[in-house]
Amino acid sequence: MNICVFASGTGTNFEAIVNSIKKGYLSSKISLLITNNSNSGAAAIASRNNIHLHHISRKIFPDISDLEYSEKFLSSMNKFNIDFIVLAGYMKKIPDEVISKFRKRIINIHPALLPSFGGKDMYGTNVHKAVIESGMKVSGITIHFVDEVYDEGKIIFQHCCEVNYDDDEFSLQEKVKKLEHKYYTEIIKKFEEGKVSVVNGRVVIN
């Protein structure tokens, strides 16, 4: 696959995917990073690995229409013949036109077990703090398709970890990151191999 990664922050999942390609585990190519933060860790990772970076945000395009803004994303990806999108800590809503064009070809990883602890502002340590305060005994990751509503796309894969009594949001975050880095690349590989399908409204991994 020819992948575009969307990222806003430190880029640890982005880097894990890059490393999986370098090691030959993934056969895909990352041709483009789209970010709303050109000073992010993800932007630095793209620079180190000679991956093209496009900075697209409302701060630099404040006056154009929503349709014109969507076209900034689509034209950027068309230029690099992108056929699959991976979100890796992208903190902005994806334009509907982008989701429509890449339906079932755009995925995200969420640091909790959806449908719990999802939605706007549920990211980073906010999620882990909410999990701990709820008294949940397990947390984990959810890899899902992206649709027009935050964190409500069909679930592709989940994996759990224990929430111990002495965990805080930071220790839980580290547990969940280990799951993210391990399993995100595994699911991307399943897409490479054509082993992910939707049957009767549910996602099946062969």
Task: Cite the active site residues.
Answer: 110
The residue count of the chain comes to: 206
Contact 163, 132 (CB under 8 A): yes
pLDDT attached to residue 123? 85
Domain 109-194 has CATH 3.40.50.170: yes
Kindly report the pTM of this predicted structure: 0.94
CA distance 11 to 37: 11
Cα 126 to Cα 50, 107, 111, 151, 155: the distances in Å are 33, 21, 10, 15, 21
**What pLDDT tens digit does each residue of the chain (206 aa) get?**
999 999 999 999 999 999 999 999 999 999 999 999 999 999 999 999 999 999 999 999 999 999 999 999 999 999 999 999 999 999 898 999 999 999 999 999 999 999 999 987 888 899 999 999 999 999 999 999 999 988 889 999 999 999 999 999 999 999 999 999 999 999 999 999 999 999 998 999 99
CA quadruple 58, 61, 67, 70: dihedral positive or negative? negative
pLDDT attached to residue 121? 81
Residues of each domain in the chain carrying CATH 3.40.50.170: 1-102, 109-194
pLDDT attached to residue 84? 98
pLDDT attached to residue 37? 93
CA distance 112 to 130: 10
Q: Please give the CATH topology (third level) of the domain spanning 1-102.
A: Rossmann fold (3.40.50)
